[in-house]
Amino acid sequence: MWDYTDKVLDHFYNPRNMGEIKDANGIGEVGSIACGDMLKLFIKVDEKGIITDAKFKTFGCGSAIASASALTEMIIGKTIEDAKKVTNEQIAEYLGGLPRAKMHCSVLGHEALEAAIRDYEGDKTGVQPEEEEGKIVCKCFGITDAKIKRVALENNLRTVEDVTNFTKAGGACGSCIPEIEDILYELWKDEPAPKEKIATARIEKPKMTNLQKINMIQETIEREIRPQLKKDGGDIEIIDIEGNTVKVAFRGHCTGCMSSQITLKHFIEAKLREFVSPEIEVVEIKQT
């Protein structure tokens, strides 16, 4: 589905420095299961301010794993001051490039590094300072206006498609796209290009046949969803697919779980909207 470099695939299949550091003196945790990607970065810093070890735990796609793995290799041996200069673009470059639609994974790595450094330096909030007062723009992925502005400025993002690729905002239901356009216009309004050229329409995915859509739904469940559910003793079964409606039943520990509706909408549906179509709706069929 994505054109990955050999280095991305290598870091995905053979991730470096996966795990945790028990006596880490800097920990950064960013993202969430609701957003589909979550990363926890551990760093160990010596008395000279040099990062002597770095490890990670992640919940996400292959690009998220590869980006986190690459990040740890990049920062081990660096001073804290040099690590602060690492950008998400450098993470992508280290991997030989990432698909444009997966650049949000490099941003996740960069944010985890910043959070870990802030933790090391004594800031225990674990969030981007400018996002503490940010307003949620993309409710599907919990992305604030402050994050959109910061990432857009750092990466010179000029279109809604760029913002979606780097933050996921606008990539699900699409209701926040007009607000993203307004944010971009305010950021770049002094540029010579008019508004209609600065903020373009959302990403348009090619139309699929019903068979292609069914296959993609099945593949996404097998690759992205079922392994995570099984970690907690749960599972999922596809009951039926009608157009954009996917009917499923929970199995194992997921059956009757009080958090099942959160899992259904904020994990399963979010993943299918990300990898298959933003129009996907997942409903639970309770069987007796």
Q: Give the catalytic positions in this structure.
A: 35, 105
b/e 250-280 (16+ beta carbons within 10 angstroms → b): bbeebeeeeebeebbbbbbbbbbbbbbbbeb
Q: What's the angle, vertex CA 115, arms to CA 112 and CA 118, rounded to 5?
A: 150
What is residue 8's three-state secondary structure? helix
Tokens of 3: 């054109």
Rounded to whole angstroms, the Cα distance separating 281 from 266 reads 11
> Using the 8-state DSSP alphabet, how is residue 259 labeled?
T
Tokens of 187: 């950021």
Rounded to whole angstroms, the Cα distance separating 34 from 45 reads 31
The CA-based diameter of the chain, rounded to the nearest angstrom, is 63
286 burial type by CB count under 10 A (0-12 exposed, 13-18 middle, 19+ buried): exposed
Question: Pairing relation of β-strands 281-284 and 245-252?
Answer: parallel
Rounded to whole angstroms, the Cα distance separating 94 from 88 reads 10
> What radius of gyration, in Å, describes the C-alpha atoms of the chain?
20
Q: What's the angle, vertex CA 94, arms to CA 223 and CA 163, rounded to 5?
A: 65
- Let me know: does 252 contact 287? Beta carbons within 8 Å: no
